[in-house]
Structure 1
Amino acid sequence: MKRMPFEPPTEHYDEHIEAIDEQICNLIKKRKELSKNNPGFPTRQLIADWSIKYNFYEDFLNSVFGHLLNEEIYKPVIEPKGFLKNIPILKSFEKDDVFYSVTYVGQYENASVVHFNIDREDVDDEMPRSFREPTFFNLSIEGNEVDYECRIEGGGGSRGHISYTFIVSPALPDDFSELKLVFKQCKVPFQKPTGFEFVI
Structure 2
Amino acid sequence: MRRVPMERPTDHYDARLFKIDEQLCALLEERREVSNQNPGFPPFKSIESWADRYRLYPDLLKSLFSLLLNEEVYLPLVEPAGFRKHLPVLRCAESGGKVYTLSGIRQYENASVVNLSIHGDYRERENEAMRAHTYIELELGEGYRCYVDQGTSSGGNSAYCFVVAPALPDDLAGVSFVFSEYERPLKRKPTGMEIVFRME
Instruction: Calculate the TM-score normalised by the size of structure 2.
Output: 0.88
Q: Are 2:183 and 2:191, in contact at CA under 8 Å, matched by a contact in 1?
A: no
Paired amino acid for 1:165: C
Contact 1:152–1:166 (Cα < 8 Å) also in 2: yes
Rounded Cα–Cα distance in structure 2 between residues aligned with 1:19 and 1:187 = 41
Matched, 1:193 2:156: no
Deviation per CA, 1:148-183, whole angstroms, max 9, x where unpaired? 111110201212101110001111112222001112
SS of alignment partner, residue 140 of structure 2? strand
What CA RMSD, in Å, does the superposition of the two structures yield over aligned residues? 2.0
Map Cα deviations across residues 78-120 of structure 1 (whole Å, 9 max, x no partner).
1111112211112233211011221111111111000011110
| Structure-1 residue corresponding to 2:168 | 172
Distance 1:73 1:101, change over 3 A: same
Contact 1:184-1:193 at 8 Å conserved across structures: no
Distance 1:170 1:189 in 2: 23
CA contact (8 A) 1:149 1:170 kept: yes
Return closer, same or farther for 1:154/1:55 CA change in 2, 3 Å cut-off: farther
| Paired-residue identity, % | 40
Per the TM alignment, residue 24 of structure 1 is displaced from its structure 2 partner at its CA by: 0.7
Using the size of structure 1 for normalisation, the TM-score is 0.88
Cα distance change of structure 1 residues 46 and 154 upon mapping to structure 2, 3 Å threshold: farther
Q: What residue ranges of structure 1 are gaps of 5+ in the alignment?
A: none
Mark the CA change 1:119 to 1:127 in structure 2 (over 3 Å): closer, same or farther. closer
2:103 equivalent in structure 1: 103
Which residue in 2 is equivalent to 1:162?
A: 158
Q: Measured at CA, do residues 151 and 195 of structure 1 come closer, stay the same or move farther in structure 2, by a change above 3 Å?
A: same
| Structure-2 change in CA distance of 1:97 and 1:127 (3 Å) | closer
- Count matched residues: 195
Alignment partners' CA distance in 2, 1:125 and 1:53 = 51
